[in-house]
């Protein structure tokens, strides 16, 4: 089975511009959209959320919802838009998501998640996948939903419904008392749950997520898992994406300066299409980390008066900071 390395869906981060940048750093990694709710697509009529550039393939869309019929309708829209994979969010612990009764709290309803998978698979030929935690904790449940037995039962339901790939975040989701940020660090990592799931469901394609922020950790995890999903480390260390790409392909990646000049061409096109300069350059602030000129590069891109009044010249000036220091 071919290994998979994916960049996690991250709200307010993995928009179309971020994905274009990540694709430049890593031609072979699987990219994800931000989570898009079924309500936004079906009732909010925000079909522009499905837009992307063809260069971003392979590309998965993540959907948030709990109604099998609505998810099936959105799966049809995603297939029509050309996405390579459709993922159901059963892992987000935020209060907003809980109020909508989807995300991690859906792990408490494995029958419903299984029905969602079945309806979506019946509506489309695009692979339907699930992203979840190893369990959930709620007030007064005394840890009943954070055991391996609970996770095994959840996986059994969705595999029985036809799900062939699961992205497993190796932490429980604590649904009361912790913020989403705390839920990414406070619950301990339990990768042994993932190892056991792979043994108990050998035909399931298991992609591990959570705390994987180096090439060595990814390589080690992929000795027993079918792949890894990288979250915030991908955003804060974009060069890590190129290193990870090397696990999938021997084709060399351009140096960072050349990659950013290619992004400049993309940015100029998007500015002409009406996109805002700030939205295009905010994802570049972690590029060139540790290199001569990086601080001045970030300062230039963070010049708010210029962001409001200028165009591609601002990015040109920022890139010049790197070129001048490199030539010095």
- Helix/strand/coil percentages in the chain, nearest 5: 50, 15, 35
Contacts of range 233-240, beta carbons closer than 8 Å, 24 or more positions apart: 234/7, 234/8, 234/22, 235/10, 235/13, 235/18, 235/283, 235/286, 236/286, 237/213, 237/286, 237/289, 238/21, 238/22, 238/25, 238/286, 238/287, 239/25, 239/289, 240/213, 240/214, 240/215
Bond preceding residue 181 cis, omega within 30 of 0? no
> Is residue 92 flagged as an active site residue?
yes
Of 320, 315, 253, nearest in space to 292 by CA:
320
Which of 18, 92, 105, 132 is catalytic? The answer is: 92
CA 200, CA 151: separation in Å to the nearest integer?
A: 11
Is there a contact between 102 and 66 (Cβ–Cβ < 8 Å)?
A: yes
Q: Are strands 59-64 and 4-7 parallel, antiparallel or unpaired?
A: unpaired
Task: Count the neighbouring beta carbons within 10 Å of the beta carbon of residue 36.
Answer: 22
State phi, psi for 167 to the nearest 5 degrees.
-100, 115
CA 238, CA 290: separation in Å to the nearest integer?
A: 12
Cα distance between the two ends of the chain: 48
Of 165, 160, 99, nearest in space to 132 by CA:
165
* CA triple 187-190-104, angle to 5 deg: 55
For residue 30, list its beta bridge partners: 6
Is there a contact between 134 and 91 (Cβ–Cβ < 8 Å)?
A: no
User: Which residues are identified as catalytic?
Assistant: 92
């Amino acid at each position: 089975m071919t290994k998979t390395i994916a960049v996690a869906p991250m709200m307010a981060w993995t928009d179309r511009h971020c994905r274009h940048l990540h694709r430049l750093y890593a031609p072979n990694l699987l990219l994800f959209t931000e989570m898009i709710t079924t309500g936004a697509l079906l009732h909010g009529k925000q079909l522009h959320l499905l837009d992307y550039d063809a260069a971003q393939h392979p590309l998965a869309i993540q959907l948030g919802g709990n109604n099998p019929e609505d998810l099936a309708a959105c799966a049809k829209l995603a297939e029509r838009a050309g996405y390579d994979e459709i993922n159901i969010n059963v892992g987000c612990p935020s209060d907003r998501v809980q109020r909508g009764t989807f995300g991690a709290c859906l792990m408490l309803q494995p029958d419903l998640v299984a029905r969602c998978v079945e309806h979506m698979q019946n509506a489309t030929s695009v692979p339907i996948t699930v992203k979840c935690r190893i369990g959930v904790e709620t007030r007064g449940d005394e840890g009943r939903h954070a055991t391996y037995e609970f996770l095994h039962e959840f996986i059994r339901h969705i595999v029985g419904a036809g799900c062939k790939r699961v992205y497993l975040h190796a932490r429980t989701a604590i649904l009361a008392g912790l913020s989403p940020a705390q839920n990414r660090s406070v619950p301990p990592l339990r990768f042994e749950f993932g190892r056991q799931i792979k043994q108990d469901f050998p035909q399931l394609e298991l992609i591990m997520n959570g705390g994987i922020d180096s090439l060595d950790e990814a390589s080690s995890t992929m000795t027993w898992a079918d792949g890894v999903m990288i979250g915030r480390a991908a955003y804060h260390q974009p060069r890590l994406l190129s290193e990870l790409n090397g696990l999938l392909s021997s084709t060399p990646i351009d140096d960072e300066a050349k990659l950013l000049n290619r992004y400049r061409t993309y940015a100029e096109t998007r500015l002409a299409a009406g996109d805002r300069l700030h939205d295009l350059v905010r994802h570049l602030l972690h590029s060139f980390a540790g290199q001569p000129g990086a601080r001045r590069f970030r300062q230039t891109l963070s010049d708010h008066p210029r962001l409001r009044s200028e165009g591609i010249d601002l990015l040109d000036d920022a890139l010049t900071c790197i070129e001048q220091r490199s030539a010095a």
